[in-house]
Amino acid sequence: SVFAINALSPSAQSESVLPGNLPADTAVPELSPSAPTPTPGLTARIISDSEGIFFPVIRGTGAPGATVTIGQADTALSRVTIDSQGSWSTGQLSDSSIEGTLSLREQSRDGAAVRESSLNYRIQTPSISATLATDSTVIVVKVVGVPGAPVHVTSGNGGVFSSLAAVVLDANGVWSSSFDVGPGGSPQELSVRYAAGNRFGPSVTVVPSTGYTAG
């Protein structure tokens, strides 16, 4: 058998273009300069439970390396540095009021650029009542709030608080129980707040009233 081998003619070989050997009249494409990465806008949102019962935690975006100060009125509640991805977050702002406006102030690393914004919020709080028996031997405590929400009730004499109950409100948003009054006497006040793990909300305090006869 005879195998035919097709070879390039001298003229065809001279017309071949080898890598890196472009003819003089061949246009070389120009590389476009990469566009600068836009600076993220200053944004913020509250990361909380669906019912809004805990002090707020804030997350947002901004200029990498800048500092964001979160305040209320004339008080700074938190100060954080924006990471290299343009994200930032706070811990729980437990010094904030029950409701109001949080101010946000972003300052660049060199202090030259400043951007400001604000965020409105409101925290739900439970209510509490406490009734002492006329003979001061029993106290009945009742808490009303968001159905299924966890609450922490504390009592105290002389300003020293102790845990009284950590419970979950029923489907109607109610919890009630009676407690024997110990040798130290009736608590001067009782407080309740929503609480679960390391999250909690504002406390509501009541002074026990005398209103029934223990049976």
Q: For 19-71, what is each residue's pLDDT tens digit?
A: 555 555 666 566 666 666 677 788 999 886 778 999 999 999 999 999 999 99
Q: How confident is the model at residue 138 (pLDDT cuts 50, 70, 90)?
A: confident
Residue 3 has pLDDT above 50, yes or no: no
CA 7 to chain centre: 74
Q: Which helix (H) or strand (E) holds 58?
A: strand 57-61
Spatial separation of the C-alpha atoms in residues 162 and 64, rounded to whole Å: 44
Output the CA–CA distances (angstroms, integers) from residue 209 to 42, 123, 152, 158, 159, in the order listed: 50, 27, 20, 17, 18
pTM, to two decimals: 0.74
Rg of the chain, C-alpha, whole Å: 34
Residue 136 has pLDDT above 90, yes or no: no
Say if residue 103 is exposed, middle or buried (CB neighbours under 10 Å; 0-12, 13-18, 19+).
middle
Residue 161 has pLDDT above 70, yes or no: no
